[in-house]
Structure 1
Amino acid sequence: MPLLNRLAEYLQQARRVNTKHGLSPIRQLFEIVRLTRSPGQIGPGDYYSYRLFDPMLSHIDKEQFVGWKVEPRLDALNDRSWHCLGLDKVLMYTLFQHAGIRVPQTQAIYLSGRTRPLAGSIALNSPAALHAWLRNPDNYPFFSKPSASGFGRGAFLADAYDAMNDCILLREGTRIQVIEFEKQFHDIERLGYLFQTPIQADSRLVDSIGKTVSSLRMIVLCDEHEGPVLHRCFWKLPTGNNSHDNYNGGKTGNLAAAIDHDTGRVTRVINGTGLDLVEIERHPDTGVNFATLAVPNWQKVCQFTFDAALTLPKLRFQQWDIALSNDGPLALEVNLFGTGGCDLTQLLYRKGLLDDTMRAFLARHSISIN
C-alpha cells in the first residue's frame, strides 16, 4: 500500500479510537513511537490491529506484543534446511504417514507433466486424466487444495458431479465447469493439487458448531532441553456455508476461539480484527453459548500434537493445524512461519508472544529480540 494511503488509514483509525475510547491522536502517536522502540517493534499497523490503545493493558503488557518486523526472528528458531516441510503438503504427508501421524486421506494428486507419489493416492499428470477423474461420480465428495498455499486459497469442498451440465457442485452452492476447474487451483509453486476424502467432523460437535470440520492451531515450542510445550492455541470455528474453517481476518465469517490450556474450554470468541473486532457469545448458526463449549478429549489432542512435534527435531517453533475428526485428532499440516498464527493468538488472548516462556526459549537459542 502506498505510504500516503497508509497514513490516511492510520489517521482514520486514530480518529475512530479517539471517538470511541477518548484517546487523543497525539497520545496515540506518542504511544506508537514508544512501542516502536520496544523488543516487539510495534508499528502503527500492529498498534491498531492488536488494539493496543486498550487502557486495560499496561505498558509492560504492550511491550510483550510482537510486530510484523520481529516475526522473522521467531522464524529463525526453525532450521532453514527443514523449511520445505512447511511449504509442501505432499512431502509433509509422506513423512507423517511413515511416522504414524494420522493425516487426511489423499485420493489423487494432479500435476500436469509430472508425478508426485503419495501412498494411497493416484497420479493425475495431464488435463485429460484430471477431467476424467472429475467426471467420475464415485470420486465425490472430495476436498481439494494446493500442496503449497495458505489462507484457504484454492481450497474447495465438492459434493457431486452434474453430468448434464458437466460441472462440479460445491458445498457452498456454486458450480464450476470441469474444464474451468484447473484455473481455480492456485498451485503457484507447481507442487501439485490434492484431492482428499472429506474429514468427518467430530459427531459430538455437530449440534454445537455444525457439520463442517473444525481445527485447532496449536503453537508448540520444542527443543532438546524442554518440550514439547503448548505456548498458545486457538480454535477455528466455521460458520454458514463455508467449506473450511480458515479465519482470514474474519472476512469469511468464521470465528476464532481462545482455549483454556488446562481444560480445553472456550474462554473468548471473536470475529474480525483491529477496530472491527467483535466478541461473539453464541454460534450464529446453532445458537450454542460458547461458554458451554470445550474441545472433546482435550488431553488426547494435546498428546497427539506433542507426539507429532517430537518427529521434527530441527523445528523448534511449530504451528500445527489439528482437525477434530470423528475418528480423533488428525494433522492437517505444520506451519513454520509467524504470520497467521502469531497475530491471531495475540489478538485473541490480549497477550503478547514475548512472555517469560518465549523469552527464555529465545535466549536458550541465542536469538535476541532487544
Structure 2
Amino acid sequence: MKIIKIGLTIAFTIIIISQLMSGKEPEKILIKAEQSSNNLNSAIFIKRDIDTKGTEKNETIEKYYISWGKEVRFQNLKYRIEDNFGTIVTYDGSIWKFKDVKNQKILFSDDMAEIASLTDELLFYVQSFLKDPNLTGDLIKGIDFKYLGEQNVENVPCDVVSYTIPKPKFFQDGDLKKKYFIGTKDGIIRKIEFEIYKDTALTETVVSYFTFSSINQDIDSNVFTLPLLDGYTEERYSQTQDEEEITLKVGEQAPDWTLLDSYGNKHSLNDYKGKIVLIDFWATWCKWCIKAIPKLQSIHQNFSNDVVVLGISCNEKKEANPVKFLKDNGGTYTVLLNGENIVDDYGITGYPTTFLIGKDGKILWSYTGYDPQLEEKIIDIINQNK
C-alpha cells in the first residue's frame, strides 16, 4: 500500500508541475521582458559571447557600465566598456574616449555626430537585447513558441522560452531558432541562445550570457571618464574625410598591389583576376577583427571554388605572428603581411575593413567595422556575382 501511495503522490506531483508549467505562456513572458527592458535605466554587467561554428569556437568577454537614464537611445547615455585585451572605451555624456593599447594613446572626440556613430556600432548588440529588444516584433514574425520551464543562470532563476523565426532577412535559406532565459522575478534577460540553420542543418550557435552586478542603481560618474594614463599621450580622434569619401566606391577599379606571405612568396591582386576576391584588412590587436575571423573562415570553406579570401595584416608589432594568430583563432585562409603599405590606396580609416572585389577587378562592396550579419551580407553579394 505504501508503494502505491508513493507512486500516486509522485504521479500527482508530476501532474501539478505540468499544470503549473503549462500555465506560463511564453508570449506573456516575452512581453514582460520587453517591459522590464524599457525600465532598465542603468546596469553593470559582464557579457560573455560564445560563437560556435562546426569545430570552431570563438569567445569574447566584455564588462559594461551603462546609464541610459530615461531614454532608449542616446540622449542621456553614458557608458564604459572594458575587454580582455585591455581596451577601454568611455563616454560621459559629452566626451568620448578610447584607450589605444597598441599606440599608447588616449583618443577623444567631442563631435556629437561622430560619437553617435561610434556608439551605435559599440552598443548595437547590447541595446538591442537589453534596452530595446523588440520582442513584440518577434511575436508577430515567430512560430512554435514554447515555455521550457525554469532554469538557473548563474544562480538566478529564469523562465526559458524558445521559438523560431522562419527565413529571417539575413538567413533566407534557413531558420533562426531563439531561446531566451528571462529572470522570473525581474524579467531581465540573463542568457540568449541563437541557432542558425541552413535548410535543416545547424550551421552556427551563438550564446550570450549577461551577468549583472548592479541593476538600476547609481553608478559613480568617475567610471565614465578616462584619465590620461602613465606613458600615454592624448590625441583627438578624427577622420579627415567622411568614410564614403575616403573608401573606394562600389564600381571603382581596385588598386593593384604586391604583398608577401609568411614564406616570402609574392601575391598581387592581378593574380586573382577571374575570381571574386574577399580582402580583409585586419590586425591581431583589433578585437572586432578577431570576432570577424569565424565568419570569413566560413566563406573561405564554403565558397573555395568561387572566392579567394585574403587576410591583409596591418600595423603589427615586431613580435606579432599574424599567421599563427589566425590559425589559433580557427582561420586557414591566406595571410599577407605589411598591409599598412597599401592602406592609403584603399582609403582605410579603421580595422577591420573588408572589400569584396569582382572578377573584373572592380569593387562590389566594402565595410569598415564588425557587423554580426557580415557573413550573410557577403554571401548575398557573392551569389549575385558568381
Larger fraction in strand: 2
Greater relative CO, 1 or 2 (CA 8 Å, sep 6+): 1
Q: TM-score by structure 1 length?
A: 0.25
